[in-house]
Structure 1
Amino acid sequence: MKRLAAALFILFLVISGVSFAAAETYTIPGSYNPTGAYSIPYNNIGISEVVTVDLNVTLVNTAQYPKFVIVNPRYDFKVYRLDGSENLTSKILDGQIYHVPGNENKIVLNYYVGFWIMPYETVMVNFKISDQNPYVVQTMDYKSLCGNGKITQVDYSSNGTVGGVIQELPQISVLTCGVMYPQLINSPQVMYLNTMFPLMDSSIKVIKYDGVVRMKLTNVPGNPQPCLSGYCDEKAFGEKANFWTLFAVTVPLVFSNAEMYDYTPKYTMTFKEYMDQYMNFNKASKPPQTSNSAPKLSGMFTLSNKLLSGVTIASTPQFKPKLPEKSEDNLPVWVILMKGEVEISYRVSWRTGGW
């Protein structure tokens, strides 16, 4: 085997009967591009996150004349009324998002999409972010004192893994890089009623909403070209670079003042328990720093009304704004050890006393 550059060395796995001549190179993490130009990002250990939302909302018009409610086209919607033709669905075709209206004469006004509510009418509307056009979350990178000193390339053949490449550290004074623990790789977004439904009309009232949120986490190296829905090529689900990953996640969406329940699978622990179990080393003495500045591992995520695309490393976790009826300490946390993919779901429910 040819000598590699000084910064690389071969991870050799002895597998009988395997020939390097038949091997193919696979870079880690692999590409995750299930629908052409539409790609889904992943972090440095190859974990991607997509979220779907399905909410049934009941509204009432207390005015004496009809009102047209404009809908954010990021959501598919369907009005449960008459023949159900008042709807809008979205699909990804060749990397482009297409919106398909039902009866455009009923749902389009001034080139905006939405629906009419008649005087004194109560109506149920389904709002959905489907797997055809999911809400894509940029997962946070896994932090280690070894930095990028991890497997970056694997050579494989039809008979199994035969070898690979690991990025080396330049410092020989560092023999170990700490202990692996499940770091949080996502940050929740807070959903407030007044931002979910900024109706700006006192005659339109939201009576209740119920629904389900689903989060799918995929190990991209384990599934180089997975699909989100519909037809899937079984050959895309190979065993290439199918390594174990260990991490933790919390809920992607927190619904303020609503009940969140029926977590499936049941969460591992609360955020407070997670901090108590895995963050105690913050109180211990710090390991010696290498010549290159090593990342701090204590900051996890910030609970805010804006989804974070990354994480600000701080000495302690910070949460803004505070939720009056949901302490961040009670947020559910799942500790996950997986190869392929896992789906987490939970239900949400909110009611008002009337109008």
Structure 2
Amino acid sequence: MRRLLVFLMIFSVITTSLYYPPVKAASSVDSVLTLNLNVTVVNTAPFPKFLVLNPSYVITVYRLNDNETTSELVSNPRLQLNGNPGIWLMPYEKVVINLVSVRTQTYSLPQVSCGGEGDGSNLACGSVVPPLVNSPYSLSARSIFPVLDGYIKILGYGGKITFVVTPTDNSPTFFAVTLPVVFSDGEISDMDPSPTMTYDEYKDMLYEYSGFQRKIRGPVQVMNTSSNLFQLTPKLLTGVQISVPTVDFETSMDYELPVWIVYSTGGSIEISYNVKWSVGGG
């Protein structure tokens, strides 16, 4: 309720005119997602192995030389074997592979539809609530390192995820975002800035903010399946279609999906967080 009062106070300050020009085009926000992950792998074989690396990533390899503090840097490996790019792993050698991935995406913001032909009807068309514009996809140790080799093992991964969202134009925008990527076996920490609320609280807020009472449903039967990461409906109250995040095996996450409510008159908002996973959870 306190967050809702804060929103109302903001609106009482910024709403200084009762005239709004006709909307000619849908508003949108641009996003840049950067993954910077360190993946530790080891060759347990008594002979060298050539590990093929995905050329889609910017890759840096740190060879540990049996020393956890002093590393030999091999930048952007260009080795090839049978035309495949990658690196050699010596017997029992452990290396850290740093991958950087940058993805961009534009999200459209829904608009309130007004009918009528200006004949005096349909003076007001509705109110604007903050739509959730994105839904997360899932990564895990298995998806990050799906190497079908009995000798090459992943020991852990960790790094930082940065999500920058920028309104396409300078017009005021009011929307919500969540984590762009979740990790089904990793520990997420150090979210900055702190989330406004959880996804469940966001759903409650939509009802409260719109002035409607949420319907109380009967007991929900919980299905024994690992396909649903979070119990999201395919359509939010705002009419925005979202996809249900899925994972390919059992999740160990113990946090609620966070949501950030954003009101912007220009500029960008940057959301960052860390992730960590290791064999045995150590």
Q: What are the residue-to-residue correspondences of 1:184-195 with 2, within 5 Å?
A: 184-195=132-143
Q: 251, 261, 277: which is aligned to 1:324?
A: 251
Residue equivalent to 1:220: 168
Q: 159, 163, 185: which is aligned to 1:211?
A: 159
**Residue 340 of structure 1: how far off its partner (Å):** 1.4
Residue equivalent to 2:49: 67
Structure 1 residue 127 corresponds to structure 2 residue 116: no
Cα pair distance change 1:298/1:219, threshold 3 Å: closer
CA deviation digits over 1:139-162, x for unaligned, max 9? 2x322432xx6xxxxxxxxxxxxx
CA deviation digits over 1:25-73, x for unaligned, max 9? xx977xxxxxxxxxxxxxx313011100111111111111111222222
CA deviation digits over 1:85-144, x for unaligned, max 9? 341xxxxxxxxxxxxxx5x3xx22222222221111111111112xxxx212242x3224
- Distance across 1 between alignment mates of 2:237 and 2:203: 15
Q: 144, 159, 177: which is aligned to 1:249?
A: 177
Cα pair distance change 1:170/1:322, threshold 3 Å: farther
Structure 1 residue 84 corresponds to structure 2 residue 12: no
- Please state whether the residue corresponding to 1:214 is helix, strand or coil: strand
Contact 2:112-2:128 at 8 Å conserved across structures? no
Contact 1:28-1:46 at 8 Å conserved across structures? no
- Distance across 2 between alignment mates of 1:263 and 1:177: 37
Cα pair distance change 1:296/1:248, threshold 3 Å: closer
Cα pair distance change 1:207/1:218, threshold 3 Å: same
- Structure 2 runs not aligned, ≥5 long: 1-19, 64-70, 216-235
- Distance across 2 between alignment mates of 1:247 and 1:332: 14
Structure 1 residue 350 corresponds to structure 2 residue 281: no
Residue equivalent to 2:28: 46
Residue equivalent to 2:131: 183
Q: Which amino acid aligns with 1:64?
A: P
**Residue 300 of structure 1: how far off its partner (Å):** 5.4
- Please state whether the residue corresponding to 2:73 is helix, strand or coil: coil
Q: Which amino acid aligns with 1:336?
A: V
Q: Which amino acid aligns with 2:43?
A: N
Residue equivalent to 2:104: 136
- What TM-score do you get using the length of structure 1 for normalisation? 0.58
Contact 2:141-2:157 at 8 Å conserved across structures? no
**Residue 219 of structure 1: how far off its partner (Å):** 1.4
**Residue 335 of structure 1: how far off its partner (Å):** 0.4
- Please state whether the residue corresponding to 1:80 is helix, strand or coil: strand
- Distance across 2 between alignment mates of 1:48 and 1:282: 33
Q: Which amino acid aligns with 2:54?
A: N
- Please state whether the residue corresponding to 1:348 is helix, strand or coil: strand
- Please state whether the residue corresponding to 1:84 is helix, strand or coil: strand
Structure 1 residue 303 corresponds to structure 2 residue 229: no
Structure 1 residue 269 corresponds to structure 2 residue 197: yes
- Distance across 2 between alignment mates of 1:302 and 1:59: 33
Contact 2:189-2:273 at 8 Å conserved across structures? yes
Q: Which amino acid aligns with 1:63?
A: A
- Distance across 2 between alignment mates of 1:74 and 1:282: 49
Residue equivalent to 1:111: 83
**Residue 299 of structure 1: how far off its partner (Å):** 5.4
CA deviation digits over 1:242-272, x for unaligned, max 9? 2211100001111111101101111111111
- What TM-score do you get using the length of structure 2 for normalisation? 0.72
**What number of residue pairs does the alignment pair up?**
231
**Residue 192 of structure 1: how far off its partner (Å):** 2.4
- Please state whether the residue corresponding to 1:195 is helix, strand or coil: helix
Q: Which amino acid aligns with 2:110?
A: K
Percentage of identical aligned residues: 35
- Distance across 1 between alignment mates of 2:174 and 2:116: 22
- Distance across 2 between alignment mates of 1:74 and 1:265: 30
Q: 319, 335, 341: which is aligned to 2:261?
A: 335
**Residue 187 of structure 1: how far off its partner (Å):** 1.3
Contact 1:68-1:116 at 8 Å conserved across structures? yes
RMSD between aligned alpha carbons? 3.1
- Structure 1 runs not aligned, ≥5 long: 1-9, 13-26, 30-43, 88-101, 150-167, 222-241, 285-294, 306-319
Residue equivalent to 1:145: 112
**Residue 198 of structure 1: how far off its partner (Å):** 0.8
- Please state whether the residue corresponding to 1:273 is helix, strand or coil: helix
Residue equivalent to 2:224: none
